[in-house]
A and B are shown apart, each in its own frame.
Chain A
Amino acid sequence: MINWTSWLDYGFMRSALLAILIITPLFGLLGTMIVNKKMAYFSDALGHSALTGIAVGVVFGVSDTNLSMVIFAVIFALLLNWIGSKSTASTDTIISVFSSCSVAIGLAILSRGGNFSKYSGLLVGDVLSITNREIIYLLVIFAVTILFWLVCFNWLNAICIHRALAKSKRIPVRLMDNIFAVLVALIVMLSIKWVGILIINALLILPAASSRNISVNMREYHLFSVIFSLFSGVLGLILSYYTNVATGPMIVIIASVIYFCTYIFGRRCKN
């Protein structure tokens, strides 16, 4: 029989658990607003920009690519917001253009001399990359996000429901949009090394989408989203340990199962 606690004997699994306990509630929380604001594609593009961030770091010889990744993603997010508000083309077109362009630049630089394989770990994520320093970053961003949510959630929600009305009520629409985008950028960048570029977006979207299937008000929406996110994170980590599978994909598989269950349940209820 399997010893279901043996995974706790290893330091790297304990750090991974800690990181998941801090980060998954944030995914759940921010996810609710991303789904509401129809920004799924935006966060996806952000995830992909990690490649470029690393490439920029490599070019400038930055030793800690975390730093260049975060800075690049923040600039990228702000730029997307800005262009999105100026341009007449639809947002998904603009995001697509920026996303492809940044991925292409990242791939071009990182594949110089046929060396891309060194970075392919980024695509699926590596749970061993969680170090104490990363956990400290995560704690800081956790505190900032919770604070932001407590203070500004009503404004964000108002903007989301009716932008023009919110503006007329003197809510700083542009500022809120930017702060939100920066927060998403920070969280995505700090977790991308262990979740993986290909699936990080699923972690932001799936818990919130599942929760939306069954909730009737904001409170439920948040509650279920955070619960689903935490649950898939912890269970995914444990199962990935015993089955020898990369952790990020395992978490996403569980989150997807939850999504399908809630989808069926939600439809039943409505009928």
Chain B
Amino acid sequence: MKKKYLFVFVMLLVVTFAGMGLTSLYVQRTGGQEKEEKISIVTSFYPMYIAALNVVGDTDTVKLTNLSEPQTGCLHDFQLTPEDMKLLSTADVFVINGGGIEAFMEEVAASYPSLQIVEACEGIALLQEEDEENAHAWMSVADYEKQVENIAKGLAEADPAHEKQYQSNAKDYCGRLEDLKERQQAVFAAARGQNVILFHEAYAYVAEDYGLSVSYVMDLDEERQVSAGEVSEVLSAVKKDHVKYILAEKRYGKSMGDTIEKESDARVIYLDPLNRGDYEKDSYLDGMSENIRLLEQDFGA
């Protein structure tokens, strides 16, 4: 009898200490090296992080962190964890894409009224999609350029001491984006007016950049099941509008793309939606340049 109560007591004690011990080990291994920084900038997800990284450059009084993992992709189904709330509570500036991609913003704004929020899509005419806004604006080089400028402006307001640095970094970066835009012109001239089908809503911005006309959009995203009816809808759209090219993302659109290529004459071009990748400064430029190359190849520019 007594033995049992002793056992329960000891067991709970052991579980507590084992849990706490493992937790401290984990915490020490993952992030013990936090230092005092002057200003902490948090970005919501990958494209924003890369843009902010280029704007911040080598300004060493800034700590730049990304809220989500580099492989998270778009934040449509993102859940804030307590750790995320903690990170935001220590942040000075929160750089978001806006346009509804960060669905949790209401919660954040209510919890941290003093957090400065920089919305990269501000002032950009977002494409409309039925009743929702399509906020994947970074897929258009021109819009991405505006986003970079918005971020630079926002950061300069939050940290006036480094305004010059931010502005000149943004200018350099935009200069490199201009090179991409020049290459886009040739594709634009060759591709303009052609009908395409999109397998990712972000590619509406690609279509916009090259003057393509979109005959059908099917958003193949995470956790999306395609019904047989939709496949036939795509096929009949291909036939009706004489669609030659389909823009898709390899990760989610490959099986669908294979089916369509088998069943029709349309060709599927797999573009990178640039919403995940590594934390390299130039990864947006490299990814976009590869996208342009693929389009050049197929549209024969």
Interface set of A (CB-CB < 8 Å, partner B): 1-2, 4, 7, 10-13, 111, 114, 116-118, 120-121, 124, 126-128, 214, 224, 227, 231, 235, 239-247, 254, 257-258, 261-262, 265, 269
Contact = CB atoms under 8 A, between A and B. Distances in A.
A118 B15 contact: no
B163 interface: no
Nearest to A120: B77
Q: What does DSSP make chain B's interface, helix, strand, loop or mixed? A: helix
Contact of A12 (B16, B23, B111): B111
Contact of A241 (B77, B82, B224, B225): B82
A33 to B, nearest CB: 21
Contacts of A224: 8
User: Closest 9 interchain pairs by CB?
Assistant: A117-B77, A244-B83, A114-B224, A121-B79, A242-B23, A241-B82, A261-B11, A2-B24, A117-B223
A240 to B, nearest CB: 7
Contacts, number: 85
Which one of B27, B81, B85 has the highest number of Cβ atoms from chain A below 10 Å of its Cβ?
B81
Contacts of A13: 82
B102 interface: no
B221 interface: yes
28 contacts: A10-B82, A11-B111, A12-B82, A13-B82, A114-B223, A117-B77, A117-B222, A127-B82, A128-B80, A128-B82, A231-B12, A235-B19, A240-B82, A241-B83, A242-B26, A242-B27, A243-B23, A243-B26, A243-B27, A244-B81, A246-B81, A247-B82, A254-B15, A254-B19, A258-B11, A258-B12, A258-B15, A269-B4
Nearest to A4: B20
B81 A2 contact: no
Contacts of B219: 114
B38 interface: no
Nearest to A113: B219
A235 B16 contact: yes
A45 to B, nearest CB: 23
A250 B76 CA distance: 24
